[in-house]
């Protein structure tokens, strides 16, 4: 593989809702953690609209959805409990989305560097990549616990571009949600939004640089 002569020179991917459907495992861990606090369980459709902002925001959204109030210390403990329940089971019900492996292979064949940029902590993200045998396709994995502010802030994307040593103008971010599009726009990075991801908004209202009905269409953006 040689370095890409065209564009993009780096392709950055979101994880949840873009490469994998992780909502079923997240739901199981969330419901178990919430049951310990006597909070009613969540349907899968509800969980899909709450993920994407990191664990703390997931817990905050879940509590708000059930109008359940906890003190800050209790919320922090609930976040820790969710992580403890989720990490060992992060791949039990999670599935690789159609076209994910092909999109990664096409990016590498194009000569682009690749990175995973997710708000999910790095450990479970790596477990998922390894479970589906796609970790080898990535030059870099940036989790939400890397230090920079999580998406929708641009910091994780900017951090990844620096680590890859690729200019922002030569990067393409592939995501599925408002957080992804907002982060990319704030970073000054082109973004391809995948239809049908973890968002209640239409792909048209997100107004990304590019729209994808299927991940397998990603290579059509390369030049």
Task: Give the whole-angstrom CA distance, residue 41 versus residue 87.
Answer: 19
The ranges of the chain with pLDDT < 70 are 1-4
Give the tens place of pLDDT for each residue, 45-99.
999 999 988 899 999 999 999 999 999 999 999 999 999 999 999 999 999 999 9
| pLDDT at res. 139 | 98
Catalytic-residue membership of 14: yes
**What string of DSSP letters covers 42-85?**
--HHHHHTT-SS-HHHHHHHHHHHTT----HHHHHHHHHHHHHH
| pLDDT at res. 54 | 87
Residue 14 marked in a binding site: yes
Active-site residue identified among 5, 14, 155, 180: 14
Question: Under CATH, what is the fold of the domain 10-21+94-221?
Answer: Rossmann fold (3.40.50)
Residue 155 marked in a binding site: no
Task: Give the whole-angstrom CA distance, residue 164 versus residue 184.
Answer: 16
Q: For residue 11, which of 191, 203, 131, 158 has the smallest C-alpha distance?
A: 191
| Pairing between β-strand 113-117 and β-strand 190-194 as defined by DSSP bridges | unpaired
CATH 1.10.150.240 fits 23-89, yes or no: yes
| pLDDT at res. 4 | 57
Residue 16 marked in a binding site: yes
| pLDDT at res. 2 | 45
Alpha carbon 50 to chain centroid, angstroms:
12
Same fold, 10-21+94-221 and 23-89: no
Task: Give the whole-angstrom CA distance, residue 169 versus residue 105.
Answer: 22
| Domain ranges (residues) in the chain | 10-21+94-221, 23-89
| pLDDT at res. 5 | 72
Q: How far is CA 150 from CA 76, 95, 143, 213, 222, in A?
A: 17, 24, 9, 26, 27
| pLDDT at res. 1 | 41
Contact 219/106 with Cβ under 8 angstroms? Answer: yes
């Amino acid at each position: 593989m040689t370095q890409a002569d065209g564009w993009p020179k780096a392709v950055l991917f979101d994880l949840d809702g873009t490469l994998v459907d992780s909502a079923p495992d997240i739901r199981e861990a969330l419901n178990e953690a919430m049951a310990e606090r006597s909070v009613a369980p969540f349907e899968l459709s509800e969980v899909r609209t709450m993920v994407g902002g990191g664990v703390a925001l997931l817990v905050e959204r879940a509590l708000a959805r059930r109008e359940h109030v906890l003190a800050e210390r209790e919320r922090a403990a609930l976040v820790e409990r969710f992580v403890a329940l989720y990490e060992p089971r992060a791949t039990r019900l999670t599935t690789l989305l159609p076209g994910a492996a092909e999109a990664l292979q096409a990016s590498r064949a194009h000569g682009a560097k690749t990175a995973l940029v997710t708000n999910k902590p790095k450990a479970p993200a790596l477990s998922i990549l390894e479970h589906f045998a796609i970790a080898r396709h990535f030059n870099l994995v940036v989790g939400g616990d890397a230090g920079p502010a999580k998406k929708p802030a641009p910091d994780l994307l900017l951090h990844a571009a620096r680590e890859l040593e690729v200019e922002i103008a030569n990067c393409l971010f592939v995501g599925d949600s408002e957080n992804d599009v907002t982060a990319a726009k704030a970073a000054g990075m082109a973004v391809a939004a995948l239809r049908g991801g973890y968002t209640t908004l239409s792909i048209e209202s997100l107004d990304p640089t590019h729209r994808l009905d299927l991940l397998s269409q990603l290579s059509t953006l390369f030049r």
